[in-house]
Amino acid sequence: MSTYCTIDGALVYPNQEDFDNAKAILEKGGWLNKDSFIVDEINNPITEDKNIDEANRTIFIPYWCHCNLGYVLNAKDGILKGNTGHIVLTCTDGCFVGSVIDGENEKEFDLEEWANEDDSFGPAPDCDTDEGAQEFADWLMDIEQAFFEEYN
Residue pLDDT, tens place only, 116-133 = 998 788 888 888 888 889
Burial of 95 (0-12, 13-18, 19+ CB in 10 A): exposed
- Distance CA(146)–CA(149), nearest Å, equals 5
pLDDT cut 70: percent of the chain above it:
98
124 secondary structure, DSSP code: P
Structure pTM? Answer: 0.91
Q: Which of 126, 29, 134, 33 is nearest to 75 (CA)?
A: 29
Contact in structure between 52 and 59 (CB atoms under 8 Å)? yes
pLDDT at position 89 over 80:
yes
Residue pLDDT, tens place only, 97-115 = 999 999 999 999 999 999 9
How many Cα atoms within 13 Å fall on the side-chain side of residue 76? 7
Residue pLDDT, tens place only, 47-84 = 999 999 999 999 999 999 999 999 898 766 689 999 99
3 secondary structure, DSSP code: -
